[in-house]
Structure 1
């Protein structure tokens, strides 16, 4: 019973809405008070040791690169391209939101940052043109999910670090699922917009000439994800080095090519980067101490043995894990759940012969979908706050979008090649 007390305390603190990082740290600290013969110093050592990680250096670099995008004029050019592509479609503003999120997915590296940016950029204009505010909040929060899968998603870096899996393969594995999520959003948006009469921005397609001009203007921004993938594939740099190089490339594009990035914008960019990075790293530090508790009490092997007893079929196991994650996702913030559950589930899926890259995409997808799921979805909170939408109204609007995304999640679960095709093709099986 004593071994379970920190876990029970964690659930209680989540229920009391204690900030996630503090809830995990307090639960881990309670274990050291309860355990006999364990000095309290180990708790602090584990917290600090988590920061001594070369792969995790990629997090602040990619967060900084994402913060530079808006200041460098990259977002505006990608928005022009998205508008040229889908401005003639039914529900054009909502469609452009999804297209822009897909184009930005490889650049911002943060679903929360994307949700805030998309809600501020599209939300007020959608409401002004007759869209319901709740639908605007639902589509802007949902489009931000795509960022988690199209490289360089922060969730993939964290999973790769915790599970000791190639981040380069994870980046490649996320591309097809990310595009499928985008497609599911476009189709669902079209159906809703057609039913409600959400009009296009313009009556006709602008023409391929205008699309090519918009693409040419945005080509430098579009080349950044390609640059990252090619560099990782041919060993030109590691994931961490890719983050640092991406920062320099973004600065070069913004300052030299687009000439919109200047010194006056730097303090705001750095402040945003420090805040976003600090919140992620505090979670990782707390989870490191909590992970020591899990390992000491041998809870991951116990969980593996229990699941092996339930089924011997890998697909059935993944189905059970999906159901568990969906339930947990309604109560626990996605990044926290990723950090807590990865050390528990990875030994289980390895025993069943499940590819850890495939499982990583499944885990990140599931827990990112939780970000739009009431009652604690982070992207939900951001979009609802920007557009002043009550959560109960948002909940009704998000249901058809959630249904479409769960269909994609099922494809990722039961068709491993959806995730593994691209990394096996480019990097070998």
Structure 2
């Protein structure tokens, strides 16, 4: 109770999530005099030395390198060519760009911030309502966090001992369905409001193929990773190192846009991004130890067993819990805290952990786009200077449709598991 109380109080006062987790865990050790305080340092240091966890900083660096290499601009031109002729063309460009960016950034917040800078001002110039523009930029970030290589799926696979290769492949179909869903909702709204297309006519095959050739190195990147992991050419951590080399070669020698200046800017940005993510992961090791020490997982399983909750009800309760938790906590922090507790329970209940991991990350990331403290929502609204209430009002159709899709994915598992079962 002391840990939970400390956690809530510190969150209310707006302390960064990593320090909230670390201080809350430390309170437990201060109260329980039987545990040596040195365990805190041991757990933090031990987590930072994990070989599988190397995939996280490597993929963050690879994504930043690709963004500095001009790949993002090429992908936006490609997305504009294939969807710009539709009503509300820029909204569709945002959805498709998020799908394409999934193979590069793997972060919903990074994608939302990038698109807010690139597409936001133009949308407002085209007389899109500010709330709608922010919503149609922030919400598709969910696609980016689902398409491989997703940082959230790497973290889930690491802490829950689940195949990252299967998680990567399992994210492809849900990511594609999310893209279709967002484009459908955006199209309906655009037609009702008479939002103009970005292009007067459909792009020619020649234009599309020309742009496709420019983007080919970015588009085949996720495919290379999946094939490499599937056939044992490299582990997920080694795939991250390969991704860095791949991104550097593409930027330096193929596109020739990666120079000393933007290389240094990329490294600085990567250090900042990694510091935030790795600090959360390191501090969560303290909570993980407490969960194991107090045998919370087995106790929770006993409670659920006595209540006779079936797999479907367990999945529904999980979705509701993650939807609420995602509104307040960083998805990676939530996975690190609750993933090791819940994964053994759902396995005993007969739920595939790959299926559960994809539902868990989709729901948590969805919470990142919702009030009151969704990080992707705040990033987009602050960059575009949009009021949260305007964003929330315009996001309702997206909220409803995403929640419905998550429920379908949860209770029709073949949608998620078709490709992993086929490939593996």
Task: From 365, 370, 386, give the equivalent of 1:368.
Answer: 365
Structure 2 counterpart of 1:304, from 297, 301, 306: 301
Paired residue for 2:155? Answer: 158
The structural deviation recorded for 1:134 is 1.3
Equivalent residue number for residue 267 of structure 1? 264
Question: Scaled by the length of structure 1, what TM-score is found?
Answer: 0.97
Q: Cα distance, 1:327 vs. partner? A: 2.1
8 Å contact from structure 1 (residues 311, 317) kept in 2: no
Q: Any runs of at least 4 consecutive aligned residues in structure 1 with deviations exceeding 3 A, and if so which?
A: none
Q: Deviations over 1:84-131 (max 9, x none)?
A: 100100110010011011011011122221111010000000000111
Assess if the C-alpha contact under 8 Å between 1:64 and 1:273 holds in 2. Answer: yes
Deviation at 1:171, TM superposition (A): 0.4
Matched residues in 2 for 1:348 and 1:368: separation? 22
2:65 is the alignment partner of 1:68: yes
Contact preservation (8 Å) 1:149, 1:178: yes
Q: Where does the alignment leave 5 or more consecutive residues of structure 1 unmatched?
A: none
Aligned to 2:281: 284
Aligned residues: 424
Scaled by the length of structure 2, the TM-score of the pair is 0.98
Residue 179 (str. 1) matches residue 159 (str. 2) = no
Cα RMSD between the aligned structures? 1.1
**The residue matched to 1:372 in structure 2 has which SS?**
coil
The alpha-carbon deviation at position 197 of structure 1 amounts to: 1.1
| Matched position secondary structure for 2:48 | coil
The match for 1:24 is: 21
Instruction: Kindly report which structure 2 residues correspond to 1:22-421, keeping only aligned pairs within 5 A, or say none.
Output: 22-421=19-418
1:399 Cα deviation from its structure 2 partner: 1.0
Task: Return the alpha-carbon distance in structure 2 between the equivalents of residues 328 and 154 of structure 1.
Answer: 18
Deviations 1:373-413 (A, max 9, x none): 10110100100000111111111111111111111101111
- Output the CA distance in 1 between the equivalents of 2:57 and 2:312: 36
Identify the match of residue 11 of structure 2 among 3, 6, 14: 14
Q: In 2, distance between residues paired with 1:305 and 1:391? A: 42
Instruction: For residue 108 of structure 1, give the secondary structure of its aligned residue in structure 2.
Output: coil
Q: Distance in 2 between matches of 1:144 and 1:319?
A: 23
How far residue 203 of structure 1 moved from its aligned partner, in angstroms, is 2.2
Q: 1:107 aligns to what SS in structure 2? A: coil
SS of residue paired to 2:49: coil
Whole-Å Cα distance in 2 between the matches of residues 16 and 348 of structure 1?
A: 33
Q: CA-to-partner distance for each residue in 1:313-356, whole Å, 9 max, x for gaps? A: 21111011111222222332322222211012112101101111
Unaligned runs of 5+ in 2: none
3-state secondary structure, aligned to 1:169: helix
Deviations along 1:159-191, one digit per CA (max 9) or x if unpaired, are 001100111111001111111111111001001
SS in 2 for 1:106: coil
Distance (Å, rounded) in 2 between the aligned partners of 1:327 and 1:65: 32
Native 8 Å contact 2:152 2:331 kept in 1 = no
8 A Cα contact 2:84 2:199, kept in partner: yes
Does the Cα contact within 8 Å between 1:78 and 1:103 map onto a contact in 2?
A: yes
Q: Is the 8 A contact 1:173 1:420 kept in 2?
A: yes
